[in-house]
Amino acid sequence: MMFMFLHPVNASSILQIGDLSSPVKSIQSCSAFAGQRANARCICCLLTNNQDGYFTDKGLTHLCTTQSDCSDAAMANLMEQTRTNDPLTLIQRLKEKHLQNQNLAVSLASLIGGAFSPNGLKDFLTSTAQKNGFKNTDTNAYLQDAKCTDVKSLGDGGKQTLQIFLVSGLKSCGMGFHREQPRSWILKETKQFLEVKNLQTLMASPVIAFDIKKPNRNLRFPAVAFPTESFTYLDSAHNPHYMLLMDAAPGTPFAKIIQSKDLEKLSQASYLIGEKLGAFHKEFMKPDGKKLLGSTLVHGDLHSNNIFVDQLSKTVTLIDVETFVKSFNTPSTPAVDLFMLYGFATSHLQTSQRVAHDLTSKEWHQYFFKPFLQGYVSNWPERYQITVLKELKDMFNSPLTIRKIFKNRFLAISYPKFLYDVKRYANPIFSELMR
């Protein structure tokens, strides 16, 4: 069988320098890309002006110096940061750090309708790993054997995500009692550069401290799932597809815990989510006059499928986190996350196809909302917890706040149903906890 390959040089890598991010092919000038940031402008020139191989590395550094993108001071800074005086080594180290997306050749036979099929993706992953084509050595080790690699489609992922796959692999899948556990990833495929850009901006922010891969991560906070690999390929119409490979979150989606009949597990998970989310909100909270609950960094899409709970390790992991970026420059009320979680969790009870409990709405709030609130307010000293609860109750009963969030977010339940449930079932929980 003859395979046609899309040459990787035609796909566009992504240049990422701190919070600056753009596909290389979209950069018209480094001065426009980096502005007055001297080091970033110099890196941009060194990594984008030699795509066709016209210059030696020494000639390239000379070009960038003479066209004023690289000042002598900027070159000296970059040499010092990369610990080299050799232009070849300098450019190689800058590529490794700042060209985040690899351009990888993809067989047209792997694509159906211009996008990966599960079998096509499996062939691509194993062939790339066999050539050590991924940046992470672990990725290459786990995915190089086709017999030990499995790819399953999880369907589409909404407006921005074209499709999602569950990928699992073993370094060795031989028989025996000492067989290792497979490693699992989620692979997202999107045509939207914005999602990639937002993730890379987030990875250059303080939120990277909560990366689930960090061994010294502070366990008081929720873990955040970031990509371990990113790459780009072109489909048959030469449209770029951006692929994000991230470790699968441990535990169970909160949506599935809601649907289960284990009420003790539901109550424990709800407390854990409240505890971790409250810690995160409090960490980034801005003062708001005399109020304890000010504006903060919010997830922005915190429905029950974007939260995983591992109750053995007491780990809560947030996924689809690129939406955090929207509140970077303009912090939001924590009600954005609280209302969305409340709406989606409540909708699981209301939707007849998802009902797993013979519970009244009043009982449901006792098992979900009450422990969630207890976990959330536990992040404040005991003498302040009543005040925090009062402010939360005011938030849930503020017509202005409710209308604003319903206008900009989908909360899975209707506006009248939200008002009714808060008044009838949530408010008595607040009153009970404030006594």
B/e letters for 50-66, b = 16+ CB within 10 Å, e = fewer, are beeeeeebeebbebbbe
pLDDT of residue 355: 46
Name the residue among 213, 243, 216, 1 with its Cα closest to residue 116: 243
Q: What is the mean pLDDT of each run of 10 residues along the chain (435 residues)?
A: 32 73 82 90 85 54 80 90 86 79 69 84 91 87 93 79 91 64 89 81 89 92 92 76 90 90 92 98 91 95 94 95 88 96 79 54 91 98 97 96 90 89 96 94
Contacts by 412-420 with C-beta closer than 8 Å and gap 24+? 412/303, 412/343, 412/344, 412/346, 412/347, 413/343, 413/346, 413/347, 413/350, 417/350, 418/339, 418/342, 418/343
B/e letters for 172-187, b = 16+ CB within 10 Å, e = fewer, are eeeeeeeeeeebebbb
Say if residues 55 and 48 touch (Cβ distance below 8 Å): no
pLDDT of residue 196: 81
Name the residue among 279, 278, 296 with its Cα closest to residue 287: 296
**HSE-up of residue 210 (Cα within 13 Å, Cβ side):** 24
- List the beta bridge partners of residue 14: 23
pLDDT of residue 241: 82
Tell me if residue 184 falls in helix, strand or coil: strand
Is the model's pTM score more than 0.85? no
Q: How far apart are the first and last CA of the chain?
A: 74
Domain positions in the chain: 17-98, 102-247, 252-434
pLDDT of residue 352: 41
Q: Give dist(CA 55, CA 239) in Å, integer.
A: 28
Q: Give dist(CA 49, CA 41) in Å, integer.
A: 12
Question: Class assignment of domain 102-247?
Answer: alpha beta
pLDDT of residue 354: 41
Instruction: Work out the number of other CB atoms within 10 angstroms of the CB of residue 288.
Output: 14
Q: Give dist(CA 334, CA 318) in Å, integer.
A: 16
pLDDT of residue 54: 43
